[in-house]
Amino acid sequence: MARSRRMSVQKRLRERKKAEQAELKRVTQRHPAGAERPAGAQLAVRADLEAYGVVTTFSDPGSEP
């Protein structure tokens, strides 16, 4: 009797481990590490955005008369 209980516990543990591995595989396929930014892509810095007028520049109100 004890043997059958132990075997069922081991079976559940094996099934859980398989399910976790499958979920991890699905997650890594959905969001690969290199997909966030393609190779050779450049990011605009704040100065670039200000030059294009996308981000407004704030001047110091104390310096202007």
Distance CA 60, CA 57 (A): 10
pLDDT of 11: 93
Residue 44 located in a structural domain: no
How high is the mean pLDDT of the chain? Answer: 77
Q: Is residue 58 part of a domain?
A: no
Its pTM surpasses 0.75: no
**Nearest-5° Cα angle at 60, 58 to 65:** 125
Q: How far is CA 13 from the centre of its chain?
A: 28
pLDDT at 4 over 60: yes
In a domain, 15, yes or no: yes
Q: Is the pLDDT of residue 51 over 90?
A: no
Work out how many domains the chain is built from and give that number: 1
Domain of 20? 1-32
Cα–chain-centroid distance for residue 63?
Answer: 43
Given a cut of 80, whether residue 26 has pLDDT beyond it is: yes
User: Considering the domain boundaries, does residue 14 fall inside one?
Assistant: yes
Residue 62 placed within a domain: no
